[in-house]
Amino acid sequence: MTKSLARRNGADFRMPSDEELDSIAAYVLSIGRAEDFDLKKLKLHSGSARRGQKLYTDTGMLGEPGHKNCNSCHFNGGGTGA
C-alpha cells in the first residue's frame, strides 16, 4: 500500500517479497466462487435484486432509455456472456 501519491519505490512503498506474493495469490484463490454461474438464469429472492438483474443483463440499446446493458461489458470469461 503506497504511503503517498508520489509512489516512490522504497520511500512510499516497497515491492512485495516472493513469499508475500505467493501468500496473496493463495488467499485470493481461496475466496470467491470456483465456477461462474449463469447470471441470466440465477434465481434471486428479492424483488429489487431481480430488477437489478434484469437491468444488468438487459441487451437493449445502451442509448435508449431504460437500457443499462451492464453485462455487455461486464461479463465473465468463458464466452457465454453470462
28 vs 2: CA distance, rounded Å:
20
Among 39, 40, 53, 72, binds ligand HEC (CB under 6 A): 72
Q: Does 69 bind ligand HEC (CB under 6 A)?
A: yes
Contact in structure between 21 and 30 (CB atoms under 8 Å):
no
Region from 3-11, 18-26, 34-42, 63-71 binding ligand HEC, contact rule CB under 6 A: 63-71
Place of cell 445502451: 62
CB neighbour list of residue 24: distance below 8 Å, 6 or more residues apart: 16
Q: Which listed range, 1-9, 16-24, 41-49, 61-69, lies at the site for ligand HEC (CB under 6 A)? A: 61-69
Q: Which residues sit at the interface with ligand HEC, rule CB under 6 A?
A: 62, 68-70, 72-74
